[in-house]
Structure 1
Amino acid sequence: MPEGCTIIAHGPEVFDTGDIVTVSAALLPEEFIVAGVMARTAAEESGFPCRFNSRPPSHVIRHLPPGTDAWLLNRGKTPASGEEFGRIVASRCDRPVYHIECSSRTVYGWNGADTCHTEEAAHRLGFAVAYRTADVRAQDNCMREIRGCIPGEPVFVNGIVVGSATGNTAVLAPENGGLRAVSGITLKPHGIEKLLRNGPVNLRNAWCKSGPVRSQSAQVAERRNPSGRITVIDHAACDIYSQMDATTCGVVSIGDDTTAVCGHICAHLGIPIFGVTDGDADTVVDHSCCSGSVIVEVTEGRDDEKGLEIAETVPTAQCHWDHWVSTTLHNRRDIRIVRDAR
């Protein structure tokens, strides 16, 4: 393995377990690029020096300079799901992929990866070596297999929970502009509705996963300055980092799972949230939030409509978060407070 390479780190687990430190000491890369939203949160909490990129790992790899080796670091929830993740990434890349999979302590060489580099990295880490060729089943837009599921856990498509796994492989197919369950999954109609708001989904290119987005609790920081701008996140927690900046004093999150993820991410940044929910959460992450946060549940209708109605009251100019929250809650009978951290 050439020293001074770049490693794309995926998922919060490589930071939460300390894998990132072990790999850095053994392989001496020049830099780590963090791919993914929750991975960024874990990286920020760890204090490990990284460069952040919100795009999926395959996108990051495809935009590396020509001739650059692609090194991927991951810890799947099981060895099988870890290998499956590497297969999907490699099937979408235009070059060989070196995949360091910590769940099975294996360095995979995908699609003709150099054997000397693969074996040198495995030797330094004390990992096994395996060579694989990524198939093209993930590229078939007629059907999409989401492998490595654990029955009962949530299944995501493009960051939205669309159902619950009933088997080890959830299979989806397009149907009349929407999705249908082929096997291994029970669909959640409200989730499908939210997913399709922006039009039909291309299953070939969709980001799909199963299970919680992070198993470790958030590190809750002291609250930021209560005055600034309020950001609205509507069922798209993956957009949160791109929507916030140094002036953000609070986040209005619409949706149960979106509120859980936004609360978790904002907790370590010291940013309170105003979560609008309707009680259909899927336990995708622990429900952390910092002081100044309020989570409400709608008593009439659904969080979609009520959340957008509340979002319309958010000032475009800077304001005081506590004042806006108090004003929003005043004399409302269509919502009830389920968590109050003020």
Structure 2
Amino acid sequence: MSLKIGVIVHGPTIIDKGYAKKIINLLSNYGVVSARLGGTMGRTAVIDASLENVINIEDKLLPSQSIELLSEDNDILFLLNYGKSMITGHTFGYKVLNNVGMDVDLIQIERPDTSDGAIICWSDNVDKTLLNNISKDLNMPIVSSNEVTSIVENLTGYNKEEGLIKRKIAGVSPGENIMLNGTIIGRVTSSNLEIIAQDNQIIKMSGGKIKKHGLEKLGKVDLTKAIVKTGLLRKTNNIKPRLMKHISTDKLTVVYLDHAAEDIYQYRNADLVVSVGDDTTLLSSDILYRFNVPIIGITDGDLDKVVLEGFKHDDSIIIQVESGYDDIIGEMIFKKVFSNKISRNVDDLVEFKKEILDTIDNSGISYKFVDKQLLD
């Protein structure tokens, strides 16, 4: 009976560097492999690499959810990740496994091709012969879960005192964005970051500066289980986006997207998307470029730069309004142009764009057109 191997691929870097495909092909020598994405930001990388038929990206699942799903039908699981450092990579595996909440036979392959890359064996039940063979194939050392756990718990974790939850975040650098459950809530100011919550509300940071608007969008959150990331979502240089043909029907569909970056993919069949917010506009422009879908972005210049490079369709328009007014203009467009609905059909995109500009003109709020958000 052939060994059934489940592979969870996390993040764009392991894909962009070619290691996701390489390792999946390698594991195919040992059994039947089924792979799926864990998390959301790797989806564009999968599309660019033309790996949709190899890595399942249809479901929007957390890494822990993908692990739980694949554990049902597989004998052994592999978690492929490429953290920005050894500490962040080890911490990621540790946190994900804790979120799974069940015993799984899991091997993590972390940061292949680096001097601190390692294979982490998270279970005592793993076939040692298989583990050693993979180690030799990839020329990577094996690290025990006890060793990783000791390192991670010394640098991260949380404690509760006087009604507060304080969580340490490892491997951060000043200037990086702080993203919690997909929402940017601040910026790192020190190499030591601690996030503090009370009654499931983030109230303070040590080593970081809070972005008030981000906390408003985030709302209540369980800090002990929240997914925290710092830095860029996709760091790879020289990305070559894969362009796909877009087929329009007689009825053109336009969609309204308000500060909801992770929902962008469901609108890849739209004919135009109106996005509100700097980072939402940057991500929607970048992602929908691959599906040949233009956007009209409403921004106010408060960009957190979540990707290293962003792409923009030739027919896209980025409109930068006065600081703090992107939400106000967005609500106005949603009410007057979209009649409080997420989507509508139009006969002509040029006329629709004119309708958007007329609405902004009538607001009396000054604005300018931005050719490209990322100028450096």
- Normalization by structure 2: what TM-score? 0.81
Q: Determine helix, strand or coil for the equivalent of 1:38.
A: coil
Partner of 1:12: 12
Q: Which residue of 1 aligns with 2:178?
A: 155
Q: SS in structure 2 opposite 1:164?
A: strand
Equivalent pair of 1:140/1:204 in contact (CA under 8 Å): no
Q: CA deviation at 1:297?
A: 1.3
Classify 1:335/1:267 alpha carbon distance in 2 versus 1 (closer, same or farther; 3 Å): farther
Q: Provide, for residues 95-140 of structure 1, a one-character-per-residue CA deviation record: whole Å limited to 9, x for no partner.
A: 2421011253311012435251432322222211001144786576
Of 313, 317, 330 in structure 1, the residue corresponding to residue 344 of structure 2 is 317
Pair 1:334 & 2:336 matched: no
Aligned 1:214-225 pairs, distance under 5 A:
214-216=234-236, 217=239, 219=241, 221=243, 224-225=246-247
Contact 2:276 2:327 in 1 (8 A): yes
Q: Distance in 1 between matches of 2:323 and 2:40?
A: 32
Pairing of 1:233-248 with structure 2 (within 5 A): 233-241=257-265, 243-244=266-267, 246=269, 248=270
The structure-2 alpha-carbon separation of the partners of 1:202 and 1:167, relative to structure 1 and needing over 3 Å to count, comes to same
Count the aligned residue pairs: 335
Over alpha carbons, which structure has the higher Rg? 2
In 1, Cα distance between equivalents of 2:256 and 2:221: 23
Out of 291, 296, 306, the position equivalent to 1:269 is: 291
Letter in 1 for 2:226: A
Spell out, residue by residue over 1:24-63, the C-alpha distance to the aligned partner (whole angstroms, 9 max, x if none): 2322152220122221111011102321131110111123
5+ long unaligned stretches in structure 1: none
Q: Report matched runs for 1:82-231 at 5 Å.
A: 82-93=89-100, 94-96=102-104, 97-103=106-112, 104-112=116-124, 114=126, 116=128, 117-133=130-146, 134=149, 138=157, 142-175=165-198, 178-196=201-219, 200-216=220-236, 217=239, 219=241, 221=243, 224-225=246-247, 228-231=252-255
* Secondary structure at 2:70 match in 1: coil
CA RMSD between the two structures: 2.6
Matched-pair contact (CA < 8 Å) for 1:277–1:295: yes
Contact 1:230 1:251 in 2 (8 A): yes
Pick aligned residue for 1:63 from 54, 63, 69? 69
State the alpha-carbon separation in 2 of the partners of residues 149 and 228 from structure 1: 45
2:256 paired with 1:250: no
In structure 1, what is the Cα distance between the partners aligned to 2:94 and 2:323? 45
CA distance in 2, matches of 1:340, 1:290: 11
Say if 2:13 and 2:234, in contact at 8 Å, map to a contact too: yes
When residues 182 and 120 of structure 1 are mapped into structure 2, their CA distance, relative to the original with a 3 A threshold, is same
Cα deviation, residue 16, structure 1: 0.9
CA distance in 1, matches of 2:78, 2:159: 25
Cα 1:176/1:61, change in 2 over 3 Å: closer
Greater displacement, 84-93 / 169-178: 169-178
| 1:212 shift after superposition | 0.5
In the other structure, the counterpart of 2:85 is 78
For structure 1, which segment, 28-37 or 154-163, has the greater mean C-alpha deviation from structure 2 after superposition? Answer: 28-37
1:54 alignment partner, one of 55, 60, 74: 60
- Where does the alignment leave 5 or more consecutive residues of structure 2 unmatched? none
1:30 aligns with 2:33: yes
Query: What percent of counterpart residues are identical?
Result: 27
Q: Which of 41, 44, 47 in structure 2 is aligned with 1:44?
A: 47
Q: CA deviation at 1:267?
A: 1.3
The TM-score normalised by the length of structure 1 is: 0.88
